[in-house]
């Protein structure tokens, strides 16, 4: 019987669940109390960040993601911008470098992930609300000036993993305002980004469904490439920064 038949795949998925569900429970029971403890004694400290990064790396591993980082993330107040495939992007990126992500406000209500996003210093954006976006931009600028890293997905949302969307220029205004560098990041699931569509939300699929499906997926390599930074003042406009960042991510994904 071929290993690619539906029957075998169902069996393999069942075995993955049998292995990963208890592992996930153990990771939560041991890891979350540690995160709560270290955040309570020093939120924002290097130790707290190290614990969060290690825990996120472990969570990625439980989901079968074998993350490999390349390049050096800038320290201090840097705006990191990456392509957006899945909620797992935040887990993967956090495993490599601590940054406060711009996340849609709905995530705050997601079981577990919402709490983790809050503790991971996320900045929540209410889509379609101009006042919310303005507040987010102000918060981003303040964090960058204070030497804290911010992460954003300038496509504005996930795109089913099929193509890279246009990087919206407005998200880069905070870097211009804070005179902070921008570092593009390419996230590729599978060899040559071949598993982007498998990791992305399926049509009509919601978070819980994707969470459960990904828990049973095969082991996959994830390549995270921190690309050449764009220094503060390198372009006269935020549109120039957006186009340069998008071009670098596109090139990295094409050669992954």
The CA–CA distances, whole Å, from 198 to 83, 106, 160, 165 equal 15, 23, 9, 18
Question: What pLDDT sits at residue 3?
Answer: 53
Helices (H) and strands (E) in the chain, counts: 9, 7
Sorting pLDDT into bands at 50, 70 and 90, what band is 33?
Answer: confident
CA distance 96 to 82: 13
Question: What pLDDT sits at residue 1?
Answer: 40
Sorting pLDDT into bands at 50, 70 and 90, what band is 167?
Answer: very high
Pick from 34-43, 65-74, 165-174, 206-215: least confident: 34-43
> Does a structural domain hold residue 242?
yes
> Does a structural domain hold residue 181?
yes
**pLDDT surpasses 50 at 156:** yes
Sorting pLDDT into bands at 50, 70 and 90, what band is 256?
Answer: confident
**pLDDT surpasses 60 at 64:** yes
* Strand 182-189 to 220-226 pairing: antiparallel
> Does a structural domain hold residue 98?
yes
Find, among 194, 173, 166, the residue nearest to 84 by Cα.
Answer: 166
Domain containing residue 243: 6-254
Cβ density class 145-158: b for 16+ within 10 Å, e for less: eeebbbbbbbbbeb
Question: What pLDDT sits at residue 109?
Answer: 81
Across the chain, mean pLDDT equals 90
Q: What is the largest CA-CA distance in the chain?
A: 61
Question: What pLDDT sits at residue 216?
Answer: 97
> Does a structural domain hold residue 86?
yes
Return the H-helix or E-strand segment holding 222.
strand 220-226
Residue 227 sits at the vertex; the CA angle it makes with 225 and 228, to the nearest 5 degrees, is: 165
Within 43-185, residue ranges assigned H as helices are: 46-62, 88-96, 113-119, 130-145, 173-178
> Does a structural domain hold residue 34?
yes
* 74, 177 Cβ separation under 8 angstroms: no
Q: Which residues pair with 97 in a beta bridge?
A: none
**pLDDT surpasses 60 at 2:** no
**Total domain count for the chain?**
1
Find, among 167, 172, 173, the residue nearest to 155 by Cα.
Answer: 167
Residue 105 sits at the vertex; the CA angle it makes with 120 and 201, to the nearest 5 degrees, is: 90
Question: What pLDDT sits at residue 79?
Answer: 97
> Does a structural domain hold residue 171?
yes
> Does a structural domain hold residue 87?
yes
* 250, 164 Cβ separation under 8 angstroms: yes
| Highest mean pLDDT (candidates 116-120, 129-133, 154-158, 190-194) | 190-194
Q: Residue 103: exposed, middle, or buried by beta-carbon count in 10 A (0-12, 13-18, 19+)? A: buried
* 149, 98 Cβ separation under 8 angstroms: yes
> Does a structural domain hold residue 1?
no
In this structure, what DSSP letter does residue 219 have? Answer: P
Question: What pLDDT sits at residue 5?
Answer: 87
pTM, full prediction: 0.90
Q: Give the tens place of pLDDT for each residue, 91-109.
A: 999 999 999 988 778 888 8
Q: Give the tens place of pLDDT for each residue, 20-32.
A: 999 999 999 988 8
């Amino acid at each position: 019987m071929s290993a690619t038949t539906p029957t075998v795949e169902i069996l393999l998925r069942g075995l993955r669940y049998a292995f990963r569900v208890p592992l996930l429970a153990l990771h939560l029971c041991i890891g979350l109390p540690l995160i709560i403890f270290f955040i309570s004694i020093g939120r924002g400290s290097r130790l707290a960040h190290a614990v969060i990064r290690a825990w996120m790396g472990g969570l990625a591993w439980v989901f079968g993601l074998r993350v490999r980082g390349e390049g050096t993330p800038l320290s201090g107040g840097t705006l990191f911008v990456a392509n957006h495939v899945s909620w797992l992007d935040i887990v993967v990126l956090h495993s490599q470098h601590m940054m406060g992500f711009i996340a849609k406000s709905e995530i705050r209500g997601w079981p577990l992930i919402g709490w983790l996003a809050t503790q991971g210093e996320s900045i929540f954006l209410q889509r379609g609300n101009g006042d919310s976006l303005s507040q987010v931009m102000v918060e981003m600028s303040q964090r960058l000036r204070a030497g804290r890293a911010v992460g954003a997905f300038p496509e504005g949302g996930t795109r089913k993993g099929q193509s890279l969307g246009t990087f919206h220029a407005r998200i880069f205004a905070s870097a211009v305002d804070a005179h902070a560098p921008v570092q593009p990041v390419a996230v590729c699931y599978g060899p040559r980004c071949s598993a982007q569509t498998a990791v992305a939300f399926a049509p009509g699929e919601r978070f819980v469904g994707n969470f459960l499906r990904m828990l049973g997926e095969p082991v996959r390599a994830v390549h995270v490439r921190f690309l050449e930074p764009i220094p503060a003042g390198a372009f006269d406009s935020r549109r120039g920064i957006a186009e340069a960042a998008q071009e670098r991510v596109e090139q990295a994904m094409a050669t992954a």
